[in-house]
Chains A and B, each alone.
Chain A
Amino acid sequence: MIEDLYSEVVMFHYKNSPYKGALKDSTDQSDGVNPSCGDEIHFTFIIDNGLIKDLKFDGHGCAISIASASIMAETIIGKTLEEAEKTLKEVLKMFRGEDFNPQSIGDTIAFENLKQFPMRIKCATLSWHTLETTLNKKTGD
Protein backbone atom coordinates (compact mmCIF):
# COMPACT_ATOMS: atom_id res chain seq x y z
CA MET A 1 0.00 0.00 0.00
CA ILE A 2 1.32 3.36 -1.02
CA GLU A 3 -0.15 4.88 2.16
CA ASP A 4 2.16 2.65 4.24
CA LEU A 5 5.01 4.70 2.88
CA TYR A 6 3.50 8.13 2.25
CA SER A 7 1.03 8.20 5.15
CA GLU A 8 -0.97 11.31 6.05
CA VAL A 9 1.34 12.04 8.97
CA VAL A 10 4.40 11.73 6.74
CA MET A 11 2.93 14.00 4.05
CA PHE A 12 1.88 16.56 6.67
CA HIS A 13 5.39 16.79 8.12
CA TYR A 14 6.94 16.86 4.65
CA LYS A 15 4.76 19.69 3.40
CA ASN A 16 4.28 21.82 6.52
CA SER A 17 6.95 20.93 9.03
CA PRO A 18 6.81 23.25 12.05
CA TYR A 19 10.44 22.34 12.78
CA LYS A 20 12.00 23.51 9.55
CA GLY A 21 14.63 26.23 9.82
CA ALA A 22 17.69 26.98 11.91
CA LEU A 23 17.95 28.08 15.54
CA LYS A 24 20.02 31.25 15.87
CA ASP A 25 21.07 30.66 19.47
CA SER A 26 21.82 26.96 19.06
CA THR A 27 24.14 25.21 21.50
CA ASP A 28 24.77 22.17 19.28
CA GLN A 29 24.74 21.40 15.58
CA SER A 30 25.07 18.31 13.48
CA ASP A 31 24.86 17.25 9.85
CA GLY A 32 23.34 14.13 8.39
CA VAL A 33 24.51 13.21 4.91
CA ASN A 34 23.42 10.31 2.80
CA PRO A 35 25.83 10.47 -0.13
CA SER A 36 24.15 7.61 -1.94
CA CYS A 37 20.98 9.71 -2.41
CA GLY A 38 22.42 13.18 -2.04
CA ASP A 39 20.31 13.91 1.05
CA GLU A 40 21.74 16.49 3.42
CA ILE A 41 20.09 17.55 6.65
CA HIS A 42 21.46 20.12 9.08
CA PHE A 43 20.23 20.14 12.68
CA THR A 44 20.48 22.92 15.26
CA PHE A 45 19.77 22.14 18.94
CA ILE A 46 19.30 24.08 22.12
CA ILE A 47 20.43 21.72 24.86
CA ASP A 48 20.44 23.19 28.32
CA ASN A 49 21.47 21.33 31.44
CA GLY A 50 20.85 17.92 29.86
CA LEU A 51 17.45 18.95 28.44
CA ILE A 52 16.69 19.20 24.70
CA LYS A 53 14.78 22.48 24.74
CA ASP A 54 14.49 23.06 21.01
CA LEU A 55 15.49 21.55 17.69
CA LYS A 56 15.17 22.58 14.07
CA PHE A 57 16.34 21.10 10.80
CA ASP A 58 17.12 22.32 7.32
CA GLY A 59 18.32 20.75 4.10
CA HIS A 60 17.06 18.65 1.27
CA GLY A 61 15.96 15.09 0.83
CA CYS A 62 13.02 12.93 -0.16
CA ALA A 63 9.64 13.11 1.57
CA ILE A 64 10.58 10.21 3.84
CA SER A 65 13.83 11.73 5.07
CA ILE A 66 12.38 15.23 5.54
CA ALA A 67 9.28 13.91 7.34
CA SER A 68 11.47 11.72 9.52
CA ALA A 69 13.58 14.72 10.56
CA SER A 70 10.46 16.70 11.42
CA ILE A 71 8.82 13.86 13.37
CA MET A 72 12.07 13.23 15.22
CA ALA A 73 12.19 16.88 16.27
CA GLU A 74 8.61 16.70 17.52
CA THR A 75 9.36 13.45 19.37
CA ILE A 76 12.50 14.47 21.23
CA ILE A 77 11.94 18.15 22.05
CA GLY A 78 11.36 18.34 25.80
CA LYS A 79 13.21 15.10 26.50
CA THR A 80 16.38 14.82 28.56
CA LEU A 81 19.47 13.40 26.84
CA GLU A 82 18.91 10.08 28.64
CA GLU A 83 15.28 9.93 27.55
CA ALA A 84 16.24 10.81 23.98
CA GLU A 85 18.78 8.02 24.02
CA LYS A 86 16.17 5.51 25.17
CA THR A 87 13.77 6.70 22.46
CA LEU A 88 16.53 6.44 19.86
CA LYS A 89 17.20 2.84 20.86
CA GLU A 90 13.54 1.88 20.46
CA VAL A 91 13.29 3.67 17.10
CA LEU A 92 16.35 1.90 15.73
CA LYS A 93 14.93 -1.43 16.93
CA MET A 94 11.74 -0.64 15.02
CA PHE A 95 13.68 0.12 11.83
CA ARG A 96 15.62 -3.14 12.20
CA GLY A 97 12.32 -5.00 12.46
CA GLU A 98 12.96 -6.08 16.08
CA ASP A 99 10.52 -5.94 19.01
CA PHE A 100 10.33 -2.42 20.39
CA ASN A 101 8.44 -0.36 22.94
CA PRO A 102 6.32 2.23 21.10
CA GLN A 103 5.59 4.24 24.25
CA SER A 104 8.16 7.01 23.86
CA ILE A 105 8.54 7.18 20.11
CA GLY A 106 5.52 9.37 19.29
CA ASP A 107 4.54 9.71 15.64
CA THR A 108 7.72 7.94 14.54
CA ILE A 109 5.41 4.92 14.67
CA ALA A 110 4.21 6.19 11.26
CA PHE A 111 7.32 4.52 9.83
CA GLU A 112 6.58 1.11 11.31
CA ASN A 113 5.56 -0.28 7.92
CA LEU A 114 8.69 1.00 6.24
CA LYS A 115 10.18 -2.48 6.64
CA GLN A 116 8.11 -3.40 3.53
CA PHE A 117 10.26 -0.91 1.60
CA PRO A 118 13.83 -1.93 2.39
CA MET A 119 15.28 0.57 -0.10
CA ARG A 120 13.79 3.45 1.87
CA ILE A 121 14.82 2.56 5.45
CA LYS A 122 17.99 4.61 5.14
CA CYS A 123 15.92 7.67 4.21
CA ALA A 124 14.10 7.52 7.54
CA THR A 125 17.09 6.56 9.69
CA LEU A 126 19.34 9.40 8.46
CA SER A 127 18.04 11.86 11.09
CA TRP A 128 18.11 9.34 13.90
CA HIS A 129 21.71 8.38 13.16
CA THR A 130 22.58 12.06 13.16
CA LEU A 131 20.91 12.40 16.58
CA GLU A 132 22.95 9.42 17.74
CA THR A 133 26.16 11.28 16.84
CA THR A 134 25.02 14.33 18.79
CA LEU A 135 24.03 12.29 21.83
CA ASN A 136 27.32 10.40 21.79
CA LYS A 137 29.19 13.70 21.67
CA LYS A 138 27.20 15.07 24.61
CA THR A 139 27.43 12.01 26.80
CA GLY A 140 31.12 11.70 25.93
CA ASP A 141 31.74 15.20 27.37
Chain B
Amino acid sequence: MKELGNYFKEKKKDFPVFKKHPDLVYLDSAATTQKPVPVIDAISNFYRESNANVHRSVYKLAETATAGYENARSKTAAFIGVAPEEVVFTRGTTESINALAYSLLLFENYKSIIVPIFEHHSNFVPWQQLAKKQNIDFLPLPVTNGCLDLNTIEEFIIRTKKPFIFSMTGITNTTGYRTPFEDVSKMVHNAGGIFILDGAQLIPHEPFDFKASGADFVAFSAHKLLGPMGIGVLAGKRKLFDCLQPFMYGGEMIEKVMETDTSFAPLPYFMEAGTPDVAGAIGLGAAIDYIMETGMEKINNHISLLTEYASEKLKAVSGIRLFGPENRHGIIGFVHESIHSHDMAELLSRFKNIAIRSGHHCAQLQMKEFGIGSMSRVSLYMYNTKDDIDKLIEGIDEVKRWFK
Protein backbone atom coordinates (compact mmCIF):
# COMPACT_ATOMS: atom_id res chain seq x y z
CA MET B 1 0.00 0.00 0.00
CA LYS B 2 1.27 3.43 -0.93
CA GLU B 3 1.43 6.11 1.73
CA LEU B 4 -0.81 9.03 0.88
CA GLY B 5 -0.06 11.23 3.86
CA ASN B 6 0.61 14.36 1.81
CA TYR B 7 -2.44 13.91 -0.42
CA PHE B 8 -4.67 13.77 2.65
CA LYS B 9 -2.86 16.62 4.41
CA GLU B 10 -3.97 18.77 1.45
CA LYS B 11 -7.51 17.37 1.66
CA LYS B 12 -7.67 18.30 5.35
CA LYS B 13 -7.71 21.95 4.26
CA ASP B 14 -11.21 21.38 2.84
CA PHE B 15 -12.55 20.98 6.39
CA PRO B 16 -13.23 24.38 8.00
CA VAL B 17 -13.45 22.98 11.53
CA PHE B 18 -9.66 22.53 11.49
CA LYS B 19 -9.18 26.19 10.55
CA LYS B 20 -11.32 27.24 13.50
CA HIS B 21 -9.49 24.80 15.83
CA PRO B 22 -5.97 24.39 14.38
CA ASP B 23 -4.75 22.25 17.29
CA LEU B 24 -7.79 19.94 17.35
CA VAL B 25 -6.89 16.26 17.12
CA TYR B 26 -10.20 14.75 16.08
CA LEU B 27 -10.27 11.01 16.73
CA ASP B 28 -14.02 10.45 16.98
CA SER B 29 -15.10 10.02 13.36
CA ALA B 30 -16.96 6.79 14.15
CA ALA B 31 -19.35 9.01 16.12
CA THR B 32 -19.56 11.60 13.36
CA THR B 33 -17.18 12.86 10.68
CA GLN B 34 -16.26 16.48 10.07
CA LYS B 35 -17.74 18.17 6.99
CA PRO B 36 -15.89 19.53 3.96
CA VAL B 37 -16.74 22.87 2.32
CA PRO B 38 -18.65 21.40 -0.68
CA VAL B 39 -21.08 19.67 1.70
CA ILE B 40 -21.63 22.78 3.81
CA ASP B 41 -22.08 24.86 0.65
CA ALA B 42 -24.55 22.41 -0.90
CA ILE B 43 -26.79 22.59 2.19
CA SER B 44 -26.52 26.34 2.48
CA ASN B 45 -27.13 26.84 -1.27
CA PHE B 46 -30.28 24.76 -1.16
CA TYR B 47 -31.78 27.07 1.47
CA ARG B 48 -30.43 30.20 -0.26
CA GLU B 49 -31.39 29.37 -3.81
CA SER B 50 -33.85 26.52 -4.24
CA ASN B 51 -35.86 25.99 -1.06
CA ALA B 52 -39.34 24.61 -1.76
CA ASN B 53 -41.17 21.46 -0.78
CA VAL B 54 -40.63 18.44 -3.01
CA HIS B 55 -43.07 16.29 -5.02
CA ARG B 56 -46.01 18.61 -4.48
CA SER B 57 -46.04 21.76 -6.54
CA VAL B 58 -45.67 22.52 -10.22
CA TYR B 59 -43.94 25.89 -10.01
CA LYS B 60 -40.32 26.25 -11.06
CA LEU B 61 -38.67 26.51 -7.64
CA ALA B 62 -40.38 23.31 -6.49
CA GLU B 63 -39.21 21.62 -9.65
CA THR B 64 -35.60 22.61 -8.86
CA ALA B 65 -35.92 21.36 -5.28
CA THR B 66 -37.42 18.06 -6.41
CA ALA B 67 -34.74 17.60 -9.05
CA GLY B 68 -32.03 18.26 -6.43
CA TYR B 69 -33.58 15.75 -4.05
CA GLU B 70 -33.96 13.05 -6.70
CA ASN B 71 -30.48 13.74 -8.03
CA ALA B 72 -29.14 13.03 -4.53
CA ARG B 73 -31.07 9.76 -4.57
CA SER B 74 -29.51 8.76 -7.92
CA LYS B 75 -26.00 9.59 -6.66
CA THR B 76 -26.57 7.53 -3.53
CA ALA B 77 -27.90 4.63 -5.59
CA ALA B 78 -24.91 4.70 -7.93
CA PHE B 79 -22.55 4.92 -4.93
CA ILE B 80 -23.74 1.59 -3.48
CA GLY B 81 -24.86 -0.15 -6.68
CA VAL B 82 -28.67 -0.18 -6.50
CA ALA B 83 -31.44 1.38 -8.59
CA PRO B 84 -32.56 4.89 -7.53
CA GLU B 85 -36.00 3.68 -6.42
CA GLU B 86 -34.27 1.17 -4.12
CA VAL B 87 -32.94 4.07 -2.00
CA VAL B 88 -35.22 5.25 0.80
CA PHE B 89 -34.13 8.37 2.66
CA THR B 90 -34.53 8.18 6.44
CA ARG B 91 -33.26 10.14 9.42
CA GLY B 92 -30.25 7.84 9.80
CA THR B 93 -29.18 4.24 10.39
CA THR B 94 -31.30 3.99 13.53
CA GLU B 95 -34.47 5.04 11.73
CA SER B 96 -33.62 2.81 8.76
CA ILE B 97 -33.37 -0.27 10.97
CA ASN B 98 -36.44 0.62 13.01
CA ALA B 99 -38.51 1.27 9.87
CA LEU B 100 -37.42 -2.05 8.44
CA ALA B 101 -37.98 -3.93 11.69
CA TYR B 102 -41.54 -2.58 11.97
CA SER B 103 -42.33 -3.18 8.31
CA LEU B 104 -40.99 -6.73 8.42
CA LEU B 105 -42.26 -7.82 11.80
CA LEU B 106 -45.68 -6.17 11.93
CA PHE B 107 -46.73 -7.32 8.49
CA GLU B 108 -44.72 -10.41 7.58
CA ASN B 109 -44.67 -13.86 8.98
CA TYR B 110 -41.11 -14.20 10.26
CA LYS B 111 -40.57 -16.75 13.03
CA SER B 112 -37.15 -15.78 14.36
CA ILE B 113 -34.36 -13.19 14.34
CA ILE B 114 -30.62 -13.68 14.87
CA VAL B 115 -28.45 -10.72 15.89
CA PRO B 116 -24.84 -10.84 17.18
CA ILE B 117 -24.38 -9.38 20.65
CA PHE B 118 -21.62 -7.00 19.46
CA GLU B 119 -24.12 -4.91 17.52
CA HIS B 120 -24.67 -1.23 18.22
CA HIS B 121 -27.86 -0.91 20.30
CA SER B 122 -29.63 0.50 17.22
CA ASN B 123 -29.25 -2.86 15.45
CA PHE B 124 -30.07 -4.92 18.54
CA VAL B 125 -32.79 -3.34 20.61
CA PRO B 126 -35.35 -2.77 17.77
CA TRP B 127 -35.22 -6.50 16.89
CA GLN B 128 -35.23 -7.60 20.52
CA GLN B 129 -38.20 -5.41 21.45
CA LEU B 130 -40.32 -6.12 18.38
CA ALA B 131 -39.63 -9.84 18.67
CA LYS B 132 -40.93 -9.65 22.23
CA LYS B 133 -44.09 -7.81 21.19
CA GLN B 134 -44.78 -10.09 18.21
CA ASN B 135 -43.89 -13.29 20.04
CA ILE B 136 -41.08 -14.13 17.65
CA ASP B 137 -37.92 -15.99 18.71
CA PHE B 138 -35.01 -13.63 19.32
CA LEU B 139 -31.57 -15.27 19.25
CA PRO B 140 -28.65 -13.13 20.47
CA LEU B 141 -25.58 -14.65 18.81
CA PRO B 142 -22.53 -14.96 21.10
CA VAL B 143 -19.15 -13.60 20.01
CA THR B 144 -15.58 -14.30 21.19
CA ASN B 145 -13.20 -11.42 21.80
CA GLY B 146 -15.54 -9.30 19.70
CA CYS B 147 -15.37 -11.67 16.71
CA LEU B 148 -17.76 -14.05 14.99
CA ASP B 149 -17.33 -17.77 14.61
CA LEU B 150 -18.86 -19.11 11.40
CA ASN B 151 -19.51 -22.56 12.95
CA THR B 152 -21.59 -21.02 15.71
CA ILE B 153 -23.52 -19.04 13.10
CA GLU B 154 -24.16 -22.25 11.15
CA GLU B 155 -25.51 -23.94 14.29
CA PHE B 156 -27.77 -20.98 15.05
CA ILE B 157 -29.08 -20.93 11.48
CA ILE B 158 -29.81 -24.68 11.54
CA ARG B 159 -31.78 -24.59 14.76
CA THR B 160 -33.65 -21.32 14.24
CA LYS B 161 -37.32 -21.35 13.21
CA LYS B 162 -37.91 -20.44 9.55
CA PRO B 163 -38.43 -18.05 7.89
CA PHE B 164 -35.87 -15.95 9.74
CA ILE B 165 -34.03 -12.62 9.71
CA PHE B 166 -30.29 -12.17 10.30
CA SER B 167 -29.12 -8.61 10.98
CA MET B 168 -25.47 -7.69 11.38
CA THR B 169 -22.95 -4.87 11.06
CA GLY B 170 -20.18 -4.64 8.43
CA ILE B 171 -17.66 -3.08 10.84
CA THR B 172 -18.22 -3.07 14.61
CA ASN B 173 -18.25 0.36 16.20
CA THR B 174 -16.26 -0.73 19.28
CA THR B 175 -13.22 -2.51 17.84
CA GLY B 176 -13.31 -1.89 14.07
CA TYR B 177 -13.79 -5.61 13.38
CA ARG B 178 -14.59 -6.04 9.69
CA THR B 179 -17.13 -8.85 9.72
CA PRO B 180 -17.27 -11.62 7.07
CA PHE B 181 -20.74 -10.44 6.05
CA GLU B 182 -20.36 -11.76 2.48
CA ASP B 183 -19.98 -15.31 3.86
CA VAL B 184 -22.71 -14.88 6.46
CA SER B 185 -25.20 -13.55 3.91
CA LYS B 186 -24.60 -16.68 1.78
CA MET B 187 -25.22 -18.95 4.77
CA VAL B 188 -28.40 -17.03 5.57
CA HIS B 189 -29.68 -17.21 1.99
CA ASN B 190 -28.89 -20.93 1.72
CA ALA B 191 -31.22 -21.46 4.67
CA GLY B 192 -33.91 -19.22 3.14
CA GLY B 193 -33.45 -16.28 5.50
CA ILE B 194 -33.08 -12.59 4.75
CA PHE B 195 -29.88 -10.72 5.56
CA ILE B 196 -29.75 -7.12 6.75
CA LEU B 197 -26.47 -5.23 6.83
CA ASP B 198 -25.84 -2.31 9.20
CA GLY B 199 -23.46 -0.27 7.06
CA ALA B 200 -23.06 2.70 9.42
CA GLN B 201 -19.31 2.09 9.91
CA LEU B 202 -18.69 0.10 6.73
CA ILE B 203 -20.00 2.37 3.97
CA PRO B 204 -17.69 5.31 4.86
CA HIS B 205 -14.65 3.02 4.78
CA GLU B 206 -14.54 0.78 1.75
CA PRO B 207 -15.86 0.57 -1.80
CA PHE B 208 -19.24 -1.08 -1.49
CA ASP B 209 -21.28 -3.00 -4.01
CA PHE B 210 -24.72 -3.98 -2.81
CA LYS B 211 -24.96 -7.08 -5.01
CA ALA B 212 -21.52 -8.39 -4.04
CA SER B 213 -22.31 -7.84 -0.34
CA GLY B 214 -25.14 -10.37 -0.47
CA ALA B 215 -27.32 -8.10 1.67
CA ASP B 216 -31.06 -7.88 1.15
CA PHE B 217 -31.15 -4.48 2.87
CA VAL B 218 -28.43 -2.08 3.97
CA ALA B 219 -28.71 0.89 6.33
CA PHE B 220 -26.30 3.80 6.82
CA SER B 221 -26.07 7.43 7.91
CA ALA B 222 -24.81 10.46 6.00
CA HIS B 223 -23.12 12.08 8.98
CA LYS B 224 -20.48 9.35 9.31
CA LEU B 225 -19.74 9.83 5.60
CA LEU B 226 -18.84 13.56 5.61
CA GLY B 227 -22.52 14.42 5.13
CA PRO B 228 -24.97 16.20 7.42
CA MET B 229 -26.70 14.81 10.52
CA GLY B 230 -30.36 13.84 10.28
CA ILE B 231 -30.30 12.01 6.94
CA GLY B 232 -29.64 8.37 6.21
CA VAL B 233 -30.46 5.56 3.87
CA LEU B 234 -32.33 2.31 3.81
CA ALA B 235 -31.55 0.55 0.54
CA GLY B 236 -32.70 -2.88 -0.50
CA LYS B 237 -33.92 -5.24 -3.16
CA ARG B 238 -36.95 -3.94 -4.96
CA LYS B 239 -38.83 -7.25 -4.82
CA LEU B 240 -38.44 -7.32 -1.03
CA PHE B 241 -39.41 -3.66 -0.60
CA ASP B 242 -42.55 -4.35 -2.65
CA CYS B 243 -43.69 -6.89 -0.07
CA LEU B 244 -43.33 -4.38 2.77
CA GLN B 245 -46.12 -2.41 4.35
CA PRO B 246 -45.28 1.13 5.43
CA PHE B 247 -45.40 1.69 9.17
CA MET B 248 -45.37 5.47 8.97
CA TYR B 249 -48.25 7.21 7.26
CA GLY B 250 -48.71 10.79 6.09
CA GLY B 251 -48.07 13.04 3.15
CA GLU B 252 -45.95 12.18 0.11
CA MET B 253 -46.49 8.42 0.47
CA ILE B 254 -50.10 8.34 -0.72
CA GLU B 255 -51.64 7.20 -3.98
CA LYS B 256 -55.34 7.47 -3.19
CA VAL B 257 -57.19 8.07 0.07
CA MET B 258 -60.74 6.75 0.37
CA GLU B 259 -63.07 6.97 3.37
CA THR B 260 -62.19 3.55 4.72
CA ASP B 261 -58.91 2.64 3.03
CA THR B 262 -55.84 4.12 1.35
CA SER B 263 -53.51 2.96 -1.38
CA PHE B 264 -49.88 3.93 -1.33
CA ALA B 265 -47.37 5.50 -3.69
CA PRO B 266 -44.77 3.24 -5.31
CA LEU B 267 -41.28 2.62 -3.98
CA PRO B 268 -39.44 4.56 -2.57
CA TYR B 269 -42.18 7.08 -1.71
CA PHE B 270 -44.41 4.80 0.37
CA MET B 271 -41.49 4.51 2.83
CA GLU B 272 -40.96 8.30 3.04
CA ALA B 273 -43.97 9.79 4.83
CA GLY B 274 -43.90 13.54 5.45
CA THR B 275 -41.64 16.31 4.18
CA PRO B 276 -38.16 14.84 3.81
CA ASP B 277 -34.84 16.45 4.75
CA VAL B 278 -34.21 17.76 1.25
CA ALA B 279 -31.17 19.84 2.19
CA GLY B 280 -29.80 16.82 4.04
CA ALA B 281 -30.20 14.57 1.01
CA ILE B 282 -28.49 17.17 -1.17
CA GLY B 283 -25.70 17.39 1.44
CA LEU B 284 -25.32 13.61 1.30
CA GLY B 285 -25.11 13.80 -2.49
CA ALA B 286 -22.32 16.39 -2.18
CA ALA B 287 -20.50 14.19 0.36
CA ILE B 288 -20.65 11.24 -2.03
CA ASP B 289 -19.29 13.42 -4.85
CA TYR B 290 -16.46 14.54 -2.59
CA ILE B 291 -15.61 10.98 -1.56
CA MET B 292 -15.70 9.69 -5.14
CA GLU B 293 -13.47 12.53 -6.26
CA THR B 294 -11.05 11.84 -3.38
CA GLY B 295 -11.14 8.11 -4.12
CA MET B 296 -12.69 5.50 -1.84
CA GLU B 297 -9.75 3.11 -2.38
CA LYS B 298 -7.34 5.87 -1.37
CA ILE B 299 -9.40 6.67 1.74
CA ASN B 300 -9.52 2.98 2.63
CA ASN B 301 -5.74 2.53 2.22
CA HIS B 302 -4.92 5.70 4.14
CA ILE B 303 -7.11 4.67 7.06
CA SER B 304 -5.78 1.08 7.03
CA LEU B 305 -2.19 2.30 7.30
CA LEU B 306 -3.09 4.80 10.02
CA THR B 307 -5.03 2.16 11.97
CA GLU B 308 -2.02 -0.14 11.87
CA TYR B 309 0.31 2.68 12.90
CA ALA B 310 -1.96 3.69 15.79
CA SER B 311 -2.45 0.08 16.95
CA GLU B 312 1.32 -0.53 17.10
CA LYS B 313 1.95 2.74 18.94
CA LEU B 314 -0.84 2.11 21.44
CA LYS B 315 0.27 -1.47 22.07
CA ALA B 316 3.72 -0.16 23.01
CA VAL B 317 2.28 2.03 25.80
CA SER B 318 2.56 0.19 29.12
CA GLY B 319 -0.78 -0.41 30.84
CA ILE B 320 -2.80 -0.16 27.60
CA ARG B 321 -4.85 -3.12 26.43
CA LEU B 322 -6.41 -3.22 22.97
CA PHE B 323 -9.60 -5.13 22.22
CA GLY B 324 -10.87 -7.11 19.28
CA PRO B 325 -9.10 -8.67 16.32
CA GLU B 326 -5.82 -7.60 14.72
CA ASN B 327 -7.40 -6.69 11.37
CA ARG B 328 -9.29 -3.75 12.84
CA HIS B 329 -10.29 -0.99 10.47
CA GLY B 330 -10.51 2.69 11.40
CA ILE B 331 -11.52 2.02 15.00
CA ILE B 332 -9.40 1.04 18.00
CA GLY B 333 -10.97 0.21 21.37
CA PHE B 334 -8.67 0.19 24.39
CA VAL B 335 -8.44 0.62 28.15
CA HIS B 336 -5.66 1.59 30.52
CA GLU B 337 -5.32 -0.78 33.47
CA SER B 338 -5.75 1.90 36.12
CA ILE B 339 -7.17 4.98 34.36
CA HIS B 340 -10.89 5.02 33.70
CA SER B 341 -11.92 5.78 30.11
CA HIS B 342 -13.80 8.95 31.15
CA ASP B 343 -10.72 10.31 32.91
CA MET B 344 -8.60 9.43 29.88
CA ALA B 345 -10.96 11.22 27.46
CA GLU B 346 -11.46 14.23 29.74
CA LEU B 347 -7.74 14.77 30.33
CA LEU B 348 -6.71 14.22 26.70
CA SER B 349 -9.18 16.92 25.78
CA ARG B 350 -8.02 19.35 28.50
CA PHE B 351 -4.30 18.76 27.97
CA LYS B 352 -4.04 18.56 24.20
CA ASN B 353 -7.45 19.17 22.61
CA ILE B 354 -7.63 15.51 21.59
CA ALA B 355 -11.17 14.24 21.00
CA ILE B 356 -11.68 10.55 21.71
CA ARG B 357 -14.80 8.75 22.83
CA SER B 358 -15.26 7.00 26.17
CA GLY B 359 -18.05 4.87 27.59
CA HIS B 360 -19.88 1.78 26.39
CA HIS B 361 -20.32 3.03 22.81
CA CYS B 362 -23.96 1.90 22.69
CA ALA B 363 -22.75 -1.70 22.87
CA GLN B 364 -23.26 -2.76 26.48
CA LEU B 365 -23.31 -6.48 25.65
CA GLN B 366 -19.97 -6.20 23.86
CA MET B 367 -18.52 -4.45 26.93
CA LYS B 368 -19.86 -7.32 29.04
CA GLU B 369 -18.21 -9.87 26.73
CA PHE B 370 -14.89 -8.04 27.14
CA GLY B 371 -15.47 -7.95 30.91
CA ILE B 372 -15.32 -4.16 31.16
CA GLY B 373 -17.77 -1.38 31.89
CA SER B 374 -16.39 1.14 29.46
CA MET B 375 -13.56 1.69 27.00
CA SER B 376 -11.74 4.44 25.18
CA ARG B 377 -12.15 4.55 21.44
CA VAL B 378 -10.00 6.15 18.79
CA SER B 379 -11.59 6.34 15.35
CA LEU B 380 -10.06 7.67 12.18
CA TYR B 381 -11.07 9.24 8.93
CA MET B 382 -9.45 10.71 5.83
CA TYR B 383 -8.30 13.97 7.49
CA ASN B 384 -6.30 12.20 10.21
CA THR B 385 -2.52 12.08 10.05
CA LYS B 386 0.35 10.28 11.74
CA ASP B 387 0.88 13.51 13.70
CA ASP B 388 -2.54 13.03 15.28
CA ILE B 389 -1.50 9.58 16.50
CA ASP B 390 1.84 10.86 17.82
CA LYS B 391 0.01 13.60 19.72
CA LEU B 392 -2.38 11.00 21.13
CA ILE B 393 0.52 8.92 22.44
CA GLU B 394 2.14 12.02 24.00
CA GLY B 395 -1.22 12.90 25.50
CA ILE B 396 -1.66 9.46 27.03
CA ASP B 397 1.82 9.71 28.57
CA GLU B 398 0.83 13.05 30.10
CA VAL B 399 -2.40 11.57 31.50
CA LYS B 400 -0.41 8.67 32.96
CA ARG B 401 1.94 11.13 34.70
CA TRP B 402 -1.08 12.94 36.16
CA PHE B 403 -2.43 9.71 37.58
CA LYS B 404 0.90 8.45 38.93
Contact = CB atoms under 8 A, between A and B. Distances in A.
A8 B274 CA distance: 55
B346 A5 contact: yes
Given A6-B402, A60-B373, A37 B347 contact: no
B362 to A, nearest CB: 10
A36 B359 contact: yes
A39 interface: yes
Interface in B350-385: 350-351, 359-360, 364, 367, 372-374
A118 interface: no
Which one of A37, A39, A64 has the highest number of Cβ atoms from chain B below 10 Å of its Cβ? A37
B397 interface: no
A40 B373 contact: yes
For the complex, would chain B's binding face be called helix, strand, loop or mixed by DSSP majority?
A: helix
B373 A38 contact: yes
B347 A38 contact: no
A57 to B, nearest CB: 15
Interface residues of A, number: 18
A6 B372 CA distance: 23
A63 B340 contact: yes
Interface in A18-56: 35-40
B342 interface: yes
A101 B308 CA distance: 54
Interface in A83-117: 117
Given A2-B351, A15-B403, 9 more contacts: A6-B343, A6-B402, A36-B359, A37-B342, A38-B360, A60-B373, A61-B340, A62-B342, A120-B342
Task: List the 3 shortest-distance A-B pairs measured between CB atoms, nearest first.
Answer: A38-B373, A62-B340, A38-B374
Interface of B: 340-343, 346-347, 350-351, 359-360, 364, 367, 372-374, 402-403
16 contacts: A2-B350, A2-B351, A5-B346, A5-B350, A6-B347, A6-B402, A35-B360, A37-B359, A38-B367, A40-B373, A60-B373, A62-B340, A62-B341, A62-B342, A120-B346, A123-B342
